[in-house]
């Protein structure tokens, strides 16, 4: 029990202790009142039928009616409490899980164990649904089996011992159900999860897949995954269905045997007719929780698996909180960046993507990074903005390790334009403002700086024009300019731009160069990854990468001179 309480998720269940105590109290009331029908039958058969007193019949019937209403009210009330408890749990966890799930996606060391926000929320839903299910009520009703068995002992020791045997049989069936359905249910859920992930990963590139004629081939692959999932689900469902029917058959058989045994005792005069009828009701109530556990076992397995996954996610948060405690807030970031022997490996056992990079970028300078595809440029950009953690070496911002800088302070001082433009569903204004408070002057200033203000005004709704998550309402160049405006919004101290001119025409290129010069003159540190030579007009430093290493680095003119000399030698050798 102590080990269970140490699990991170239990910290969020602890505030629901009062709710669980209320449910236990209401379960006590409901189960005690469940004895009323038994007492009613005893009175009916042993007193009313003998005395033939209609007034007695009326009174006991009114009383049982009141008790049944009380039972219904107690069960309704505990259902309402469980629903409210589920909402409380959801409200206490959803914000944290949302952030953690996205944060975990940055962990490149555990790609196979990444967990999306939707999966984390689905796990929370599984647990909330279990809290409001009959499976939870069965847990609270199970102890009252002993009470019903005890009443059977009062009616007759023989009936009591027979009830004990029947309960043990029902318990054994429950254990067998768990053993036989556990693996099939887990395999079915895993196959379903993989199938969903396959679909979600393809939806974003739906148009390309359609145009390239890949959809039919993907359909065949999805159909194969779907067949596997359906087969596993069918197998699990068949096993669970078989177990439920066997459990129900056994329960009904035992109820009939209990009635037969009670009838035999009644014939021998050892118990009354009322006790005979009451014994059937009591054994039914005693066995019911076992039956509910079997019928809700799939839901229980889902909740258990979700509990484990959320515990892992929250454990990551707890370990991270130790590091967060060490993070401090420093003076406003100026933008000086120093790389010292930086090494990065994206996956365990794979080759290094970045090898011993040492670079100094003073604030107020523009560094352009060039190199062939696969040379590590984008990885370096992602490392500079903190998406990829530093494994070996150091990444210093204003002389301070990036891991020690307050995350909020770092985010407000960074502007990032990724290689793949990732505009989010919403308005243009919301995208530029990073979905924060809409500062109209700052939004317009950013749009004007990159030369997209007039274009936005020509749209039907201007800055309120809605775009979807892929930016399909805009052209490639327009999406890139909106992404660039978002990066320079409120003029952060550090700008990291990955291929900012990949989709721009000459007009857009001119605005980009003017924007970079303006920001440079304001003391901003700018790192640009580009294949276009015209960016070198405004560049202070040029870094050429090959195979994850620095091939050339220095002032732009000097590096270009070295590259020209190397090219001249190659031409002379070829001649």
Looking at 240, 273, 295, the residue that finishes a domain is 295
Structure tokens at 192: 């379903």
- According to the model, what pLDDT value does residue 152 have? 85
Please check whether residue 448 lies inside any domain of the structure.
yes
Instruction: Name the nearest CA neighbour of 289 among 279, 278, 300.
Output: 300
Question: Are residues 568 and 447 both part of a single domain?
Answer: yes
Question: Are residues 489 and 548 both part of a single domain?
Answer: yes
Return the SS3 of 413.
coil
How far lies 339's CA from each of 120, 379, 393, 395, in Å? Answer: 35, 14, 8, 5
Please check whether residue 467 lies inside any domain of the structure.
yes
- According to the model, what pLDDT value does residue 275 have? 79
Alpha-helical regions (H) of 49-156: 49-51, 54-104, 117-131, 134-141, 145-155
Highest-confidence range of 78-92, 105-119, 445-459, 468-482, by mean pLDDT? Answer: 445-459
Question: Are residues 353 and 495 both part of a single domain?
Answer: yes
In this prediction, residue 524 has a pLDDT band, given cuts at 50, 70 and 90, of very high
CA distance 455 to 467: 15
Instruction: Name the nearest CA neighbour of 405 among 494, 525, 317.
Output: 494
Percent of the chain clearing pLDDT 70 (strictly above): 85
- According to the model, what pLDDT value does residue 406 have? 78
The answer, yes or no, to whether residue 331 has pLDDT greater than 60, is: yes
- According to the model, what pLDDT value does residue 566 have? 75
The CA-CA-CA angle for residues 568, 574, 575, to 5°, reads: 90
Please check whether residue 353 lies inside any domain of the structure.
yes
**Average pLDDT of the residues in 151-163:** 88
CA distance 290 to 286: 8
Beta-bridge mates of residue 340: 394
In this prediction, residue 541 has a pLDDT band, given cuts at 50, 70 and 90, of very high
Question: Are residues 345 and 249 both part of a single domain?
Answer: no
Looking at 295, 327, 350, the residue that finishes a domain is 295
Question: Are residues 283 and 396 both part of a single domain?
Answer: no
Please check whether residue 130 lies inside any domain of the structure.
no
The answer, yes or no, to whether residue 324 has pLDDT greater than 70, is: no
- According to the model, what pLDDT value does residue 109 have? 41
Question: Are residues 428 and 528 both part of a single domain?
Answer: yes
- According to the model, what pLDDT value does residue 213 have? 65
CA distance 517 to 523: 10
**Average pLDDT of the residues in 400-409:** 81
CA distance 324 to 17: 30
CA distance 181 to 176: 8
Question: Are residues 195 and 277 both part of a single domain?
Answer: yes
Please check whether residue 220 lies inside any domain of the structure.
yes
Count CB-CB contacts under 10 A for residue 152.
27
Total tally of structural domains belonging to the chain: 2
Question: Are residues 290 and 429 both part of a single domain?
Answer: no
Higher pLDDT, residue 361 or 2: 361
- According to the model, what pLDDT value does residue 253 have? 87
In this prediction, residue 349 has a pLDDT band, given cuts at 50, 70 and 90, of low
319: left (phi over 0), alpha (psi -120 to 50) or beta: alpha
In this prediction, residue 209 has a pLDDT band, given cuts at 50, 70 and 90, of low
- Per DSSP, the residues of 334-380 read ---EEEEEEEE-SSTTSPPSEEEEEEEE-TT-EEEEE--TTSSHHHH
Return the SS3 of 513.
helix
Percent of the chain clearing pLDDT 90 (strictly above): 12
| The model's pTM | 0.61
Please check whether residue 410 lies inside any domain of the structure.
yes
In this prediction, residue 112 has a pLDDT band, given cuts at 50, 70 and 90, of very low
Residue 280 belongs to domain spanning: 142-295
The answer, yes or no, to whether residue 202 has pLDDT greater than 50, is: yes
Structure tokens at 249: 């058959």
The answer, yes or no, to whether residue 472 has pLDDT greater than 70, is: no
- According to the model, what pLDDT value does residue 361 have? 92
- According to the model, what pLDDT value does residue 330 have? 59
User: Exposed, middle or buried by CB within 10 Å (0-12, 13-18, 19+), for 165?
Assistant: exposed
CATH code of residue 499 = 3.40.50.300
Q: b/e for 71-100, b at 16 or more Cβ within 10 A?
A: beebbebbeebbeebbebbbeebeeebeeb
Looking at 295, 319, 350, the residue that finishes a domain is 295
Compute φ and ψ for 18, nearest 5 degrees: -65, -35
Please check whether residue 312 lies inside any domain of the structure.
no
CA distance 332 to 303: 46
CATH code of residue 272 = 1.20.1560.10
The tens digit of pLDDT for each residue in 54-110 reads 787 788 788 888 888 988 898 888 888 888 887 887 777 776 776 666 655 544 443
**Least-confidence region, from 65-79, 189-203, 347-361, 522-536:** 189-203
Q: Are 188 and 235 in contact (CB under 8 A)?
A: yes
- According to the model, what pLDDT value does residue 329 have? 55
Please check whether residue 10 lies inside any domain of the structure.
no
Question: Are residues 376 and 474 both part of a single domain?
Answer: yes
Across all residues in the chain, what is the average pLDDT? 80
Handedness of CA 447, 448, 450, 453 (dihedral sign): positive
Question: Are residues 469 and 376 both part of a single domain?
Answer: yes
In this prediction, residue 575 has a pLDDT band, given cuts at 50, 70 and 90, of low
Beta-bridge mates of residue 357: 342
Question: Are residues 285 and 361 both part of a single domain?
Answer: no
């Amino acid at each position: 029990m102590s080990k269970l309480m140490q699990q991170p998720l239990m910290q969020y269940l602890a505030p629901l202790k009062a709710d669980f105590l209320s449910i236990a109290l209401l379960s006590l009331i409901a189960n005690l009142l469940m004895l009323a029908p038994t007492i009613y039958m005893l009175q009916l058969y042993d007193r009313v039928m003998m005395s033939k007193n209609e007034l007695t019949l009326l009174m006991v019937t009114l009383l049982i009616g009141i008790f049944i209403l009380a039972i219904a009210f107690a069960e309704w009330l505990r259902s309402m409490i469980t629903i409210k408890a589920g909402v409380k749990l959801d409200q206490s966890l959803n914000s944290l899980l949302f952030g953690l799930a996205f944060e975990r996606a940055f962990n490149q060391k555990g790609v196979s164990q990444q967990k999306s926000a939707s999966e984390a929320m689905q796990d929370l839903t599984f647990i909330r649904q279990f809290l409001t299910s009959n499976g939870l009520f069965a847990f609270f009703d199970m102890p009252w089996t002993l009470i019903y068995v005890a009443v059977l002992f009062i009616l007759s020791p023989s009936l009591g011992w027979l009830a004990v045997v029947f309960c043990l049989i029902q318990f054994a069936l429950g254990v067998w159900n768990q053993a036989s359905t556990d693996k099939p249910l887990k395999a079915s859920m895993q196959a379903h999860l993989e199938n969903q992930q396959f679909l979600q990963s393809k939806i974003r590139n739906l148009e390309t897949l359609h145009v390239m004629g890949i959809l039919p081939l993907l359909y065949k692959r999805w159909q194969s995954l779907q067949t596997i999932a359906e087969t596993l689900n069918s197998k699990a469902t068949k096993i669970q269905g078989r177990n439920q029917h066997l459990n129900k058959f056994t329960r009904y058989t035992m109820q009939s045997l209990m009635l037969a045994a009670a009838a035999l005792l009644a014939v021998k005069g050892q118990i009354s007719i009322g006790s005979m009828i009451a014994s059937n009701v009591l054994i039914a109530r005693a066995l019911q929780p076992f039956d509910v556990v079997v019928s809700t076992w799939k839901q229980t397995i889902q909740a258990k698996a979700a509990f484990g996954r959320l515990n892992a996610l929250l454990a990551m948060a707890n370990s991270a909180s130790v590091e967060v405690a060490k993070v401090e807030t420093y003076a406003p970031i100026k933008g000086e960046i120093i790389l010292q022997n930086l090494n990065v490996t994206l996956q365990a056992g794979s080759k290094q993507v970045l090898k011993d990079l040492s670079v100094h970028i003073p604030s107020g300078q523009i560094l352009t990074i060039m190199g062939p595809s696969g040379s590590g440029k984008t990885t370096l950009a992602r490392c500079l903005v903190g998406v990829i953690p530093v494994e070996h070496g150091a990444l210093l911002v204003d002389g301070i390790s990036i891991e020690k800088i307050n995350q909020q302070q770092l985010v407000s001082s960074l502007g990032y334009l990724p290689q793949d433009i990732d505009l989010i569903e919403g308005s243009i204004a919301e995208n530029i403002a990073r979905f924060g408070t809409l500062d109209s002057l700052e939004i317009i200033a950013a749009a004007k700086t990159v030369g997209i203000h007039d274009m936005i005004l020509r749209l039907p709704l201007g800055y309120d024009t809605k775009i979807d998550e892929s930016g399909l309402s805009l052209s490639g160049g327009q999406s890139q300019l909106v992404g660039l405006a978002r990066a320079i919004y409120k003029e952060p101290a550090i700008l990291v731009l990955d291929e900012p001119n990949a989709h721009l025409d000459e007009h857009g290129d001119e605005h980009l160069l003017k924007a970079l010069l303006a920001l440079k003159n304001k003391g901003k540190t700018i790192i640009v990854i580009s294949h276009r030579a015209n960016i070198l007009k405004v560049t202070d430093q040029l870094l050429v990468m090959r195979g994850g290493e620095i091939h050339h680095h220095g002032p732009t003119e000097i590096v270009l001179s070295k590259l020209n000399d190397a090219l001249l030698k190659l031409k002379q050798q070829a001649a």
